[in-house]
Amino acid sequence: MKYSELPYERIDVEKRRNLMKEYLEKFSNAESFNEQANVILDVNKQNKEYHSYAAMASLNFSRNIYDEDAKAEKDYYDSIGPDMIEISDLFEKAVVQSKYKDELSKKWGEKFLIDIETSLKTFDPKIKEMLKEETDLRNEYTKLTAGAKITYKGKEYNLAGLGPFHSNEDRNVRKASIEARFHWFSENSEALDDIYDKLVKLRHKIATTLGYDNFIELGYMRMGRSDYGPNEVANFRKQIVNHVVPVVKKLVQKKKDILGLDHLYFYDGINFKEGDPKPKGSPDHLIKEAQAMYRELSNETGDFFDMMVEEELMDLVNREGKRPGGFCTSFPKYDRPYIFSNFNGTDHDITVLTHEAGHAFQCYSSRNQPLLGYLWPTMEAAEIHSMSMEFFTWPWMHKFFKEETDRFKYKHIAGSLSFLPYGACVDHFQHWVYENPEATPKERNQRWLDLESIYLPDRDYDDLHFPKTGGIWQGQLHIYQMPFYYIDYTLAQTCAFQFWIKNQQDSEKAWKDYVNICKAGGSKSFTKLVALAGLKLPFDDGCLEDVVEHVSKWLDKVDPNKL
């Protein structure tokens, strides 16, 4: 069945509430462990249905933010979100009080109850209205950024459409297009500050209403993190400063030589004088190549990607009215994932495709997991699947980049490593923001600039006014939409680099370990999945240092002037 043919419905909240009452009664009156387990599976089936429809509504709107019907469906699902949490909260409360708790834990693993206990700590009927407000504010951000109309050289672009100019080989084009981007942000900075200010204060209030000091602890629980906390994360960020920032400094020097420039400014985002490598061919051609690639990589990926193509489970190319960014979503009722992206003719199109295909492949591989909560792992683990897939597909990159393949690889590795300090900066910033919910927008911007000087000491904005005021973080949608979802990329990148190394040493074993953790889905926590993959835990001393050593040795060996 094609995506457009998948049945979609609006869920009726009152019907759900009544149905849940019946389940609760059955659950409480159950006279055996098996009876209770069956009720849990019935509820699970209902939840799968709800999550599928909500995901479809959200996706359809992302595909065309000007479609009024799609907007109405998404608004509907947004509006019932807190009610649905309340309904499932009632059932979860009964599960943690079950007299068969030990047996349930034995059947589905310890994570089953840990997940439920964590989820219970993030909700109380008292915060229901505030959750609705939070969703509205998130939507305001999407509406504002997705609707950006930027005039550049007499033509109108959205934020993604303007992207290719930022990596143009002509410095003037790069600078002027970035100026156009920042001009838009500068004109909207007050509105963006206002949305964020409300979000921070609201999240703080939600947290204190639930009995926490501030939003940080709650934010971690919302991310489902059960086996590490802010201290481990702070220590990991410190390791990035110590081990990665110096290597990135060296890369900046190298880039100056490659580009033949005395000094690098923020708008010198390209990696090669002639411009960054570009995928060769139309999007349709690239997808055909990707299909051939996934057939060669393994049987599992071949079947998976054929299905994605045949069932039209991808919307890849940028167009007017599409929400910016790339993501993978899923419809658990139908055992299907979906990939959304905004191809704009840059090398990023290929990394976003392999990245999101990694997420989708994992989610499809774990479709036989018994519980909805076990389909997806927590995000720092999920990003291992996606970022490692970017590396597992390396042997086929010539299909997309032809004579520019080595350039792509150099850029990919150098870029992935250089990303780590940025990722840590975004994370550090958010910790500060939620520790200081009363800070003014101006103080926030100043804090961002202070952190930039630690993590990104070589950034020079030249005379670009807007980023010099410290407002550049407003373009990072995670900061608004999914607080604390960012360090995940740096933890996962550290693991993905390990898969990259492993794949060079023993590709069969590396692939087997990868498929194993894909199938495990969310049945284990982050640290346990890392162990299952046979990787070192990023928090452990020496892990990042080893990885960086290996990566920088590889980078040292490449003479980019010969690429």
Stretch that binds Zn ion, among 123-131, 134-142, 269-277, 377-385 (CB under 5 A): 377-385
Nearest approach in angstroms of CB 387 to Zn ion is 7
Q: Which is nearer to Zn ion, 215 or 484 (CB)?
A: 484
DSSP one-letter string for 70-103:
HHHHHHHHHHHHHHHHHHHHHHHHHHHT-TTHHH
Q: Which is nearer to Zn ion, 351 or 523 (CB)?
A: 351
Nearest approach in angstroms of CB 419 to Zn ion is 12
Residue 266 contacts residue 460 (beta carbons within 8 Å): yes
How many whole angstroms separate alpha carbon 266 and alpha carbon 550? Answer: 27
Q: Which of residues 55-84 bind Zn ion (CB under 5 A)?
A: none
Stretch that binds Zn ion, among 129-137, 185-193, 382-390, 445-453 (CB under 5 A): 382-390
Nearest approach in angstroms of CB 323 to Zn ion is 16
Q: How many residues does the chain have?
A: 563
Rule CB under 5 A: is residue 503 a binding residue for Zn ion?
no
How many whole angstroms separate alpha carbon 356 and alpha carbon 353? Answer: 5
Stretch that binds Zn ion, among 76-84, 203-211, 214-222, 380-388 (CB under 5 A): 380-388
Burial 281-313 (b: 16+ CB within 10 A, else e): eeeeebbebbeebbeebbebbbebbeebeebeb
Q: Which is nearer to Zn ion, 384 or 417 (CB)?
A: 384
Nearest approach in angstroms of CB 369 to Zn ion is 19
- Give Dmax over CA atoms of the chain in angstroms: 77
Q: Which is nearer to Zn ion, 268 or 390 (CB)?
A: 390
Nearest approach in angstroms of CB 383 to Zn ion is 5
Instruction: Please give the C-alpha separations between residue 455 and each of 12, 113, 234, 261, 496, in angstroms, as whole numbers.
Output: 48, 38, 13, 23, 21
Residue 428 contacts residue 238 (beta carbons within 8 Å): no
* 210-215 contact pairs (CB < 8 A, 24+): 210/121, 210/122, 210/123, 210/124, 210/126, 210/127, 214/434, 214/435, 214/437, 215/434, 215/437, 215/483
How many whole angstroms separate alpha carbon 381 and alpha carbon 434? Answer: 24
Nearest approach in angstroms of CB 251 to Zn ion is 23
The alpha carbon of 156 is separated from its chain's Cα centroid by a whole number of angstroms, namely 28
Q: Which is nearer to Zn ion, 84 or 381 (CB)?
A: 381
The residue whose two tokens read 């005395």 is: 262
How many whole angstroms separate alpha carbon 520 and alpha carbon 376? Answer: 9
Q: Which of residues 297-316 bind Zn ion (CB under 5 A)?
A: none
Stretch that binds Zn ion, among 21-29, 145-153, 288-296, 386-394 (CB under 5 A): 386-394
Stretch that binds Zn ion, among 53-61, 263-271, 292-300, 383-391 (CB under 5 A): 383-391
Q: Which is nearer to Zn ion, 142 or 386 (CB)?
A: 386
Rule CB under 5 A: is residue 552 a binding residue for Zn ion?
no
Six-digit token pair at 531? 């162990």
Nearest approach in angstroms of CB 355 to Zn ion is 6
Rule CB under 5 A: is residue 416 a binding residue for Zn ion?
no
Nearest approach in angstroms of CB 358 to Zn ion is 8
Rule CB under 5 A: is residue 386 a binding residue for Zn ion?
yes
Stretch that binds Zn ion, among 33-41, 72-80, 336-344, 384-392 (CB under 5 A): 384-392
Bridge partners (DSSP) listed for residue 340: 315, 327
Nearest approach in angstroms of CB 466 to Zn ion is 27
Rule CB under 5 A: is residue 494 a binding residue for Zn ion?
no
Q: Which is nearer to Zn ion, 362 or 369 (CB)?
A: 362
Q: Which is nearer to Zn ion, 163 or 325 (CB)?
A: 325
Rule CB under 5 A: is residue 330 a binding residue for Zn ion?
no
How many whole angstroms separate alpha carbon 216 and alpha carbon 428? Answer: 12
Six-digit token pair at 23? 């389940």
Six-digit token pair at 198? 């409300």
Q: Which is nearer to Zn ion, 84 or 384 (CB)?
A: 384
Cβ-closest position to Zn ion = 386
How many whole angstroms separate alpha carbon 332 and alpha carbon 130? Answer: 28
Q: Which is nearer to Zn ion, 232 or 383 (CB)?
A: 383
Stretch (H or E) spanning 134: helix 128-146
Residues binding Zn ion: what is the number (CB under 5 A)? 2
Residues 6+ apart with CB under 8 A from 500: 388, 391, 394
Q: Which is nearer to Zn ion, 271 or 386 (CB)?
A: 386
Site residues for Zn ion per CB under 5 A: 383, 386
